[in-house]
């Protein structure tokens, strides 16, 4: 334990480690959360339509929208959508841009477009969005229409070969567990949260790579192999200490960045709306989850991905003597799958999504199913388990790989 504490303290004392932590905190928390919520993301509009010309008043704008949309009731019904459309149509057209960008008007428009196509009037309003002129008296049967559209979409997906009949039934069974009517509050904030967290995880990758890519390759660079052979602890114990120290750093790094992001989220959005269903982010999502459950999944997805990626980096470091090459290969596992996505076979593209910090953490909004020995497994279950399995498998091979080079 004492040796681990010394190694872990040595890691944190490195200048490059401290620089990476500070830079990531500034980029992900200060800019990616505080300034984003306060300024371009939720700041009120002035005369410009550029979000970077917004006013620096996001905190108060969020409170205004939470209060404004509370008037439509605490559950989503036909009447909710009718009232929302009617109020939108009562505004002067010059007020619309600001209302659309941060209110739930865009949500109302997407629901009208997807569920009430018969309300379109191409002859008289071909240049106007449906939200401007839809007859509110004809907006009825929201949940029945959604169910019909969902079944039609899943059947089309099955016919295109992406789902089996068993997959389709599995997804419909999940959908049947969604409680109706849906709980409703202003959704824009929670939509931003659950879509931001998974992508924020990938932003940790370069910093983790810079810190951990030299875990073992750095020993060759500094020519410390002879010293390791003479120490009383031996290379194998030291290797495990370095691996555990790297994992501990990855967990602490994650806790620092995402703990701070959650605190900022609570300051700006509070806890209201946590029990709204994720169907506000995707009308046809089938997962019977609320926003809090989705956020917890996102946080778990990133954490397990970070640990898995840390294990992968240290394996690469153990197999490669050159520091630069170790870093380049570590980064390639994150960026190359996206770069080559358009050129890879479908099966290989799908498999690459299960690499640590590569996949889409919001896959619970979609219908992807992975098949193992003919058994369909909902993709989010794979996304949250495979990366950590990869990382854990890498650890003993990292120690063993380094030992071969030491003996050589």
Q: Which residue has the higher pLDDT, 336 or 54?
A: 336
% the chain with pLDDT above 90: 70
How much is the pLDDT for 226?
Answer: 47
CA 193 vs CA 33, 55, 62, 334, 337: distances in Å = 10, 21, 13, 22, 25
User: Mean of the per-residue pLDDT values for the chain?
Assistant: 89
Lowest average pLDDT, out of 78-87, 127-136, 245-254, goes to 127-136
**Per-residue confidence band for 127, with pLDDT thresholds at 50, 70 and 90:** low
Mean pLDDT of 386-408: 84
Q: At what angle do helices 205-212 and 234-269 cross, to 10 degrees?
A: 160
Q: Phi and psi dihedrals of 75, rounded to 5?
A: -140, 150
What is the token pair recorded at 129? 């969005």
Taking CA 99 as the corner, what is the angle to CA 98 and CA 101, rounded to the nearest 5 degrees? 65
Its pTM stands at: 0.93
CA 37 vs CA 60, 218, 250, 328: distances in Å = 10, 40, 26, 33
- DSSP H or E segment with residue 183: strand 182-183
What is the token pair recorded at 79? 């009447």
20 phi-psi bin (left φ>0, alpha ψ -120 to 50, beta other): alpha
Q: Which long-range contacts (CB under 8 A, 24 or more apart) does 43-48 make?
A: 44/98, 45/97, 45/98, 45/101
**Domain residue extents for the chain:** 2-39+188-406, 59-183
**Per-residue confidence band for 103, with pLDDT thresholds at 50, 70 and 90:** confident
* Residue of 104, 107, 100 whose CA lies nearest to 49: 100
Whether cis (ω within 30° of 0) applies to the bond prior to 181 is yes
How much is the pLDDT for 4?
Answer: 92
What is the token pair recorded at 221? 């660079």
């Amino acid at each position: 334990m004492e040796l681990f504490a010394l190694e872990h303290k040595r890691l944190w004392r490195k200048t490059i480690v401290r620089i990476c932590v500070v830079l990531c905190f500034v980029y992900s928390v200060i800019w990616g959360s505080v300034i984003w919520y306060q300024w371009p993301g939720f700041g009120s509009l002035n005369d410009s339509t550029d979000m970077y010309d917004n006013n620096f008043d996001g905190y108060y704008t969020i409170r205004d929208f939470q209060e404004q949309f509370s008037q439509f009731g605490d559950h989503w019904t036909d009447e909710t959508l009718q009232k929302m459309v009617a109020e939108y149509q009562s505004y002067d057209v010059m007020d619309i841009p600001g209302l659309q960008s941060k209110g739930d008007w865009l949500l109302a428009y997407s629901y009208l477009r997807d569920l009430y196509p018969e309300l379109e009037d191409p002859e008289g309003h071909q240049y106007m969005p449906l939200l401007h002129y839809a007859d509110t008296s004809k907006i009825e049967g929201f949940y029945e229409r959604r169910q019909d559209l969902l079944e039609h979409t899943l059947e089309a997906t099955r016919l295109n070969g992406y789902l089996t009949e068993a997959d389709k039934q599995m997804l419909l069974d999940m959908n049947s567990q969604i409680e109706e009517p849906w709980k409703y509050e202003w959704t824009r904030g929670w939509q931003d949260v659950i879509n931001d967290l998974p992508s924020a995880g990938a932003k940790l990758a370069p910093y983790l790579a810079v810190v951990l890519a030299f875990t073992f390759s750095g020993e060759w660079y500094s020519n410390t192999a002879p010293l390791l052979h003479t120490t009383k602890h031996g290379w194998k114990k030291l290797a495990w200490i370095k691996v555990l120290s790297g994992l501990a750093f990855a967990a602490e790094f994650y806790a620092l960045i995402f703990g701070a992001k959650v605190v900022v989220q609570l300051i700006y959005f509070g806890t209201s709306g946590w029990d709204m269903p994720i169907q506000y982010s995707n009308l046809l999502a089938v997962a019977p989850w609320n926003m809090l459950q989705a956020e917890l999944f996102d946080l778990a997805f990133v954490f397990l991905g970070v640990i898995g990626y840390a294990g992968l980096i240290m394996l690469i470091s153990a197999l490669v003597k050159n520091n630069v090459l170790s870093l380049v290969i570590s980064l390639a596992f994150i960026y190359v799958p996206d770069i080559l996505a358009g050129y890879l076979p479908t099966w290989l593209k799908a498999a690459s999504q299960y690499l640590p910090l590569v996949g889409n953490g919001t896959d619970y909004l979609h219908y992807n199913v992975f098949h193992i020995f003919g058994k369909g497994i909902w993709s989010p279950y794979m996304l949250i388990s495979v990366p950590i399995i990869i990382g854990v498998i890498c650890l003993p091979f990292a120690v063993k790989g380094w030992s071969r080079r030491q003996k050589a």
